[in-house]
Amino acid sequence: MKITKVNVKPILLPLKVPFKIALGEDVEYEGVVVEIETDNGLTGIGEISPSHRITGETVGASISIMQTDIIPQIMDENPLFIEKLMDKVNARIIFNPSVKCAVDIALHDILGKYLGMPLKTILGGFRESITTSITIGIKSIPETIEEGKSFVTNGAKVIKVKIGLTPEEDIEKIRLLREELGYKIAIRIDANQGYEPRTAVKVLRQLEKYEIEFVEQPVAYWDIKGLKFVKNNTDIPVMADESIHSIYDAINLIHEEACDLFNIKLMKAGGIKAGAKIAAIAESAGIPCMIGCMVETKIGIAAATHLALATKNIKYADLDGHLMLRKDVVEGGVFTENGENKVTEKSGLGVTMIENN
Ligand SMILES: [Mg+2]
C-alpha cells in the first residue's frame, strides 16, 4: 500500500456563541481538513486546528508547510509505517505540531480502516467512555451561572470555567457557581496564563474551600518557576497546559516538579502517537493526564477520544471543542451523551465527510 494523494482543504465554521478566554476571543473556527488517499482506495481523514495564541500556527502557514514540506515527505510511502513517517516529518520541520497532528490522525484512520477496527481497540482498549468537562468561556457572573445550570440540565457532570482576567470577580464567580450547582458537580478552572504567580496563589487559596478539581495553567507558559511556586502554595492540584506541548516539555516539568497534572492536546503534541508518548512518560512519574482540545471538528475530537479510551493514564477529558461549532464537516465518530464521550464501533476514527459542506 502507498500514499498517492493528499487533499488539503481550509474550513471556516461559525461558533454557536463567541468564545472568550484570558488569551483572547474567537467568533469562528478556522481550520484545515487533510485527506490522505492510498492506492488501494482507502482515505484517512485528519485535521489541523492552528492556534496562533498557543502554538503560533495559522491556517495560511499550515497549508503552505503541508504542501511544500510535509506532503513530499510522505508521498509514495506506506501509510502503515506511522512512526517512520512521523519521524521524517519531525526531521523536516521542528514546530508546527497541529500540521503534524493532521498527518498522524489521517494515518491512524487509514490503519483502522485497513484493519477493520476502531482506533480505540488498535491503540489498546482501556475504557468504553470518558467523562468530559463542558467549558464556560469568560462571561459575566449571571451568564456564567445561567450557562453552568443549563449544561448540568443537559447532562454535564463536570464544568470547566475560564478565568484569569479579574481575580476578585473570578473568586466571586466560582463561589456563586458552587453555591448554585452544589457539590455533586465537579468544577475545574482554567486561567490560560492570566495571573502572576502571587495573584494565582492568592486567588486559589480563596477557592480551596469550593472543592476545585484542579486549575489549568495559572501563569505564563514560559514561567516554570512560577508554576512550581503556585503548585507549592495551594492545595488545588495544578495542571500544566500551555507549558506542555511535547515529550521534551513533559520531562522538563517532571524534573522541575512544577505541576501535578498534564493537559495533553493532540494539536500541541503533534498527534496521537506523540500524545500517547507524553501519557506514558507522565505515568512513569506518577502524573495523571487530561486530554484536552482546541476548538476542533469531530475529526480531532474523535481522535482524542479514541486515545483516551485506550490509555489508562488519561484520567480526565476536556473534549468539547466540537460542541462549540454551529455545524461540523464530518458526521459519526464521536458523540457526547450525559457528559460522557464515546466513539462508534466503525473502523478507524469512524468519521465521514459531509458532502457539499
Ligand atoms: Mg487549558
Question: What are the structural domains, with CATH classification, of the chain?
Answer: 3-116 (3.30.390.10), 120-353 (3.20.20.120)
Give bridge partners of residue 353 from the DSSP assignment: 330
Contact 326, 15 (CB under 8 A): yes
* Residue 123 Cα to ligand 1 middle (Å): 25
Contact 308, 275 (CB under 8 A): no
pLDDT for the residue numbered 355: 83
Q: Is the pTM of this model over 0.85?
A: yes
Output the CA torsion sign for 281, 263, 341, 49: negative
Residue in 113, 173, 231, 265 annotated catalytic:
265
CB atoms within 10 A of CB 239: 30
CB atoms within 10 A of CB 132: 28
Cell numbers 486515545 correspond to what residue? 307
d(CA 240, CA 282): 12
Output the CA torsion sign for 205, 206, 209, 214: negative
Neighbours of ion ligand 1 (CB under 5 A): 190, 216, 241
* Residue 316 Cα to ligand 1 middle (Å): 13
* Residue 292 Cα to ligand 1 middle (Å): 7
pLDDT in tens, the chain (357 residues): 999 999 999 999 999 999 999 999 999 999 999 999 999 999 999 999 999 999 999 999 999 999 999 999 999 999 999 999 999 999 999 999 999 999 999 999 999 999 999 999 999 999 999 999 999 999 999 999 999 999 999 999 999 999 999 999 999 999 999 999 999 999 999 999 999 999 999 999 999 999 999 999 999 999 999 999 999 999 999 999 999 999 999 999 999 999 999 999 999 999 999 999 999 999 999 999 999 999 999 999 999 999 999 999 999 999 999 999 999 999 999 999 999 999 999 999 999 999 865
Can you point out the beta strands (E) in 71-196? 130-131, 133-136, 158-162, 186-190
* Residue 160 Cα to ligand 1 middle (Å): 10
User: Is residue 164 classed as helix, strand or coil in its secondary structure?
Assistant: coil
Amino acid occupying residue 324: M
Cell numbers 516554570 correspond to what residue? 224
Judge whether 173 counts as a catalytic residue. Answer: no
Amino acid occupying residue 190: D
Residue in 160, 162, 228, 231 annotated catalytic:
162
Give bridge partners of residue 187 from the DSSP assignment: 159, 212
* Residue 10 Cα to ligand 1 middle (Å): 25
pLDDT for the residue numbered 195: 98
Tell the burial category of 81 from Cβ atoms under 10 Å away from its Cβ (0-12, 13-18, 19+). middle
Q: What is the phi-psi region of residue 271: left when phi exceeds 0, alpha when psi lies from -120 to 50, beta otherwise?
A: left
Judge whether 162 counts as a catalytic residue. Answer: yes
pLDDT for the residue numbered 357: 59
pLDDT for the residue numbered 310: 98
* Residue 21 Cα to ligand 1 middle (Å): 9
* Residue 61 Cα to ligand 1 middle (Å): 24
